[in-house]
A and B are shown apart, each in its own frame.
Chain A
Amino acid sequence: MQKPQPSSLQPEIDLPGIDGGDNIMKIKEVPQDDIKTFRGYGTKTVYAVDENGQYTRVSTSGWDAEEVVLRDVVNDFEKAAQDAKVRAMKGEASPIEYFMNKYFMDVPALAAGMGLARWRVKRHLNPGVFNKLSDKLLQRYADFFQVDIHTLKKFKETI
């Protein structure tokens, strides 16, 4: 896999430091960066001190810092998924590789989630092996990825 350029991968956002000189997490210093991941899904809560020094819960629309590190991981997976999709269309990759990356998994995670040995999952990423898989096993993969079994079998036509 080619090495991605960090600058092109990251969303272009400004990263201010933590405001204020004193070392106290005040309510007004709770980041409200309206990050993309939370949009449409609500807010999260953090603990911060009010003007009397009392801790209280404060809602936040997210912190750019957490968004950057999340996107960094997500972008890599999305790129790998796209790459696997193109190759699967040409019959050079197994659709399982596409779905694995689409749902942010690596081989150990997929194997654990499916309840299979890692070496078996690794084999299933080979298109030749994938084409010979039984319907029963394909159905298990389809259930795990929450897609129809035909999406796996007729990947080229359905995706």
Chain B
Amino acid sequence: MDLIANFEHQHFAHCESGVMATLLKYHGLPLSEPMVFGLSGALCFAYLPFLKMGNMPVISYRMFPGYIVKNLPRRLGVKYFRRTYKNPDLAMAQLDEFVAAGQLVGLQTSVYYSPYFPPEMRFQFNAHNIIIVGKEADEYLVSDPVFDHLEKIKSADLKKARFARGFSAPKGLVHYPLVCPDSLDLEKLIRKSIKKTVRMMLYAPLPWIGIKGINHLARKVVKISGEHNDRYTRHFLGNIVRMQEEIGTGGGGFRFMYAAFLQEAYGIIKLPVLKEASDRMTAAGDAWRMFALECVRVVKKGCASEDLGHIARSLKRCGENEKQIYRMLKAVK
């Protein structure tokens, strides 16, 4: 059995930031998951009515999948190895070489081909992230950050999972840090990343992104029952909640994780505004959870038109909460 030495599995809230935190820590750059998430500037809100998945518009509470793996290394000044493959056999052979050499690598996989997931969650989602930590006969040992212990996957399944087709196809992506800097100027990185997140959430010049996106969605919610049947309305609201709570978030649509980042940032920079913003971000996360409960009530009990008005108002409130936080964070320069 090949098992990478000194590897300790950690359970994280989100696959991509979890994989990144694990890989960086293993290469001598210990950053917490919220720090990885925050420094990447991965917090977002996007409502993309023209992009449908399962007949529902895409709603996301963070940047698109793959953003952290692509952007964080550059920001941190980490030399990073990324490779995609055309030939699945070559990809698997190289993976075996990595494992044999004791190299910890991250892979992008499809949930549909990962049998260790609960069957109800095996949708066509191609941008899941895992780490391979060993091989035992025909099975790979997988450190999947959103599971609480090491999992196993058969080599044939893994091959399919790495070469699933469709939206955001992984194309066998393998990645790992090559050289990490000895130290990081965390203060500068934090300031830069907060600035970027604030700019995007407040001033993205598109109606679907940031606070504008939240309000856009709220306006849509009011109109929805007039345009579609009850079943569609239920699914539409359910979809908002699923994207917020279930799809690799760890609850509150990533707001709690960002609050944890702001708290950690306050510990490093000691700017009072960061502490205040962290507390408010926690409250914003709670507001998102209350909003989710309101949607779920409609999904369970059926929809009356006044409910939708109420839900839209809650959603606008979520947007307003966050707007105030980002305005406050403009003080961080």
- Using CB atoms and an 8 Å cutoff, list the residues of chain A in contact with chain B: 3-4, 6-7, 10, 15, 17-18, 23-25, 30, 37-38, 40-49, 54-55, 57, 59-60, 63-66, 68-74, 76, 103-106, 108-109, 112-115
Contacts and interface: CB of A to CB of B under 8 A. Distances in A.
B268 to A, nearest CB: 14
A55 B259 contact: yes
A120 to B, nearest CB: 14
Contacts of A72: 234-235, 238, 299
Interface string B3-18: 0000000011100000
Contacts of A114: 165
Residue picked from A7, A10, A40, A109, most chain B C-beta under 10 Å: A109
B242 A45 contact: no
B149 A18 contact: no
Interface in B17-55: 33-34, 52-55
Contacts of B235: 72-73, 76
Residue picked from B122, B146, B165, most chain A C-beta under 10 Å: B165
Nearest to A74: B120
Given A15-B296, A72-B238, A113 B164 contact: yes
B148 interface: yes
A-B CB proximity, top 4 nearest:
A112-B166, A55-B260, A69-B238, A46-B251
B146 A45 contact: yes
A7 B301 contact: yes
SS class of chain A's interface: helix, strand, loop or mixed?
mixed
B241 interface: yes
SS class of chain B's interface: helix, strand, loop or mixed?
helix
Contacts of B193: none
Contact of A24 (B54, B282, B299, B301): B282
B124 A109 contact: yes
Interface of B: 11-13, 33-34, 52-55, 112, 116-118, 120-124, 146-149, 164-167, 229-231, 234-235, 237-239, 241-242, 245-246, 250-252, 256-257, 259-260, 263-264, 279, 282-283, 285-287, 289-290, 292-293, 295-297, 299-302
Nearest to A108: B52
A23 B89 CA distance: 52
Contacts of B246: 66, 69-70
Contact of A68 (B148, B239, B296): B296
B321 to A, nearest CB: 10
B118 A41 contact: yes
A3 B231 CA distance: 7
Contacts of A113: 112, 124, 164-166
17 contacts: A15-B297, A17-B290, A18-B289, A25-B289, A30-B251, A37-B118, A40-B118, A43-B148, A46-B251, A57-B12, A65-B241, A66-B245, A70-B242, A70-B246, A72-B238, A73-B238, A76-B231
